[in-house]
Structures are given as structure tokens and as C-alpha cells.
């Protein structure tokens, strides 16, 4: 059985990117709004970037090139390449930012799915091609990306850390969790594997891919079938 791995960018690969992005302009501290049914993650982003003010492309690229990531992500990508596991990076931020940051760290060969960044002159305009109206927390719904990017025969593994990961984690067969996601998995009785760095995920994945059969998580399989039949 094949395995598809989905890894959250902000909070996992790049632990501080969301807050750091706004520190580019000190008059643009983000609102600490929690997405709700009436105030979605994409609406909050539009509001925040509406206040962002002009930004020069060279300042933006310089800023992105300076960002730090969990260096163990490179080892995880390499291990996935060796074991035939596909890796997709999901982000509620911009695909452009994640691509630029990973390229600066010489990490290639991973699929990245996130929001689109349009620059109209020097004004940042976010676009949300993967928005899901059922899901206010995701401006780029990782659940849909996982479901559309996996066949019925493949098992799905997801790595997350924050409240934006509640949505995709419910639909994954194997959940790697820390932080808020870990607490939530405990509350919802979702089995998970704890990780500190992505090296922990690599060790576990190597063990999992050696098995002849990767078991599906029953509740996740039910939810995936329900999501497909609702479409
Ligand atoms: Zn979602």
C-alpha cells in the first residue's frame, strides 16, 4: 500500500513564519482573531493584508530568504524519497513564501499547496483557490488537498501542531501531533504519534513503510467516504 504524507508548513516546518511575516511592517501586527463560522480564516487574512501597506518585492524576498526552518525536514524528504512516500507541504499562508523558503534551504521535489499571493504593484493581495466553505479555520483547506491528492488505495499521514490542523487530522490514517493538535487529539480520542522534531517523524515513517500493510484508521476512512459522497 502506498503512503502519502502531508506536512503543515507554518508551525511545523517553519515554526515562526506567520508572526514573522507581519513583523515586516511594524504597523501591521495581526489581529488575534480566532476563525469562526462568521469570521473565516480567509476573511481574517484579507483584513490583515488589507492593512499591510506597500511592501517592496526585494524586501519580501530578502525577508523570506532569512527565515529559519526545522532542518530535520530535509532528512524527512530524503527518507520519503528512499521509501517511495510522496510529500506534500500544506500551508494557510502563501505557496510563494513556502516555495521561496524551501528553495533557499535547497529542499526540492516536494509539492506545496497554499494560498496565492498577488502583487499589484507593491500591494499584497491574497487569493484563496482552496477555500472550503464548510471549514472556517482553513483559508487553504488541507483536508481537501489530502482527499484530492490521495487515491482510495493509499494511506494518508499528516503532521501538524496547531488548531488549523484539527480539520485535516480527522481525515488522516496516521497523525503526527504536537502542541495544540496533540491536546485536541487526546480530547477527541484520535490516536496520534507524538513528535518533537521532524526527525521523530522520519524514524516512525521508516518503521511504518517496512510493514507489508499500513492499516487505515476506521474513523478517518468513514469521514473520507462521507466527504466524497457529499460532493
Ligand atoms: Zn479545512
pLDDT tens column, 45-94: 776 666 566 667 777 788 888 888 999 999 999 999 999 999 999 998 88
Cell triple for residue 132?
472550503
Contact 11, 179 (CB under 8 A): yes
Contact 186, 194 (CB under 8 A): no
Distance from C-alpha of 178 to C-alpha of 8, rounded to nearest angstrom? 12
Cell triple for residue 227?
466527504
Quote the ligand 1 centre to 144 CA distance (angstroms).
7
Residues present in the chain in total: 231
Would you call 48 helix, strand, or coil by DSSP? helix
Domain ranges of the chain: 3-230
pLDDT tens column, 82-125: 999 999 999 988 898 899 999 999 998 899 999 988 877 777 77
Quote the ligand 1 centre to 11 CA distance (angstroms).
16
Backbone dihedral angles phi then psi of residue 26, each to the nearest 5 degrees: -75, -10
Quote the ligand 1 centre to 59 CA distance (angstroms).
31
Looking at the chain, the whole-number percentage of residues with pLDDT higher than 90 is 49
Quote the ligand 1 centre to 132 CA distance (angstroms).
6
| CB atoms near residue 133 (< 10 Å) | 7
Quote the ligand 1 centre to 192 CA distance (angstroms).
19
Q: Name the band, by pLDDT with cuts 50, 70 and 90, for residue 149.
A: confident
Quote the ligand 1 centre to 112 CA distance (angstroms).
16
3-230 in CATH: which number? Answer: 3.40.50.1000
**Residue that is written with C-alpha cell 513564519 in the block:** 17
Amino acid at each position: 500500500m502506498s503512503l502519502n504524507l502531508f506536512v503543515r508548513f507554518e508551525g511545523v516546518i517553519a515554526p515562526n513564519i506567520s508572526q514573522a511575516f507581519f513583523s515586516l511592517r511594524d504597523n501591521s501586527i495581526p489581529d488575534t482573531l480566532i476563525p469562526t463560522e462568521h469570521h473565516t480564516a480567509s476573511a481574517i487574512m484579507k483584513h490583515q493584508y488589507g492593512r499591510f501597506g506597500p511592501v517592496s518585492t526585494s524586501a519580501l524576498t530578502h525577508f523570506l530568504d532569512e527565515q529559519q526552518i526545522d532542518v530535520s525536514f530535509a532528512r524527512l524528504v530524503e527518507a520519503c524519497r528512499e521509501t517511495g512516500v510522496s510529500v506534500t507541504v500544506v500551508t494557510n499562508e502563501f505557496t510563494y513564501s513556502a516555495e521561496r523558503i524551501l528553495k533557499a534551504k535547497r529542499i526540492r521535489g516536494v509539492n506545496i499547496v497554499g494560498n496565492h499571493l498577488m502583487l499589484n504593484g507593491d500591494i499584497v493581495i491574497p487569493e484563496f483557490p482552496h477555500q472550503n466553505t464548510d471549514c472556517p479555520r482553513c483559508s487553504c483547506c488541507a483536508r481537501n488537498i489530502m482527499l484530492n491528492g490521495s487515491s482510495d488505495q493509499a494511506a494518508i499521514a499528516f503532521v501538524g501542531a496547531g488548531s488549523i490542523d484539527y480539520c485535516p487530522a480527522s481525515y488522516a490514517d496516521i497523525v503526527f501531533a504536537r502542541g495544540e493538535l496533540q491536546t485536541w487529539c487526546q480530547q477527541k480520542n484520535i490516536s496520534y504519534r507524538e513528535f518533537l522534531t521532524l526527525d521523530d517523524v522520519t524514524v516512525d515513517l521508516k518503521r511504518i513503510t517496512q510493514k507489508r500493510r499500513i492499516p487505515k484508521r476506521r474513523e478517518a476512512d468513514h469521514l473520507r467516504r462521507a466527504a466524497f459522497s457529499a460532493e
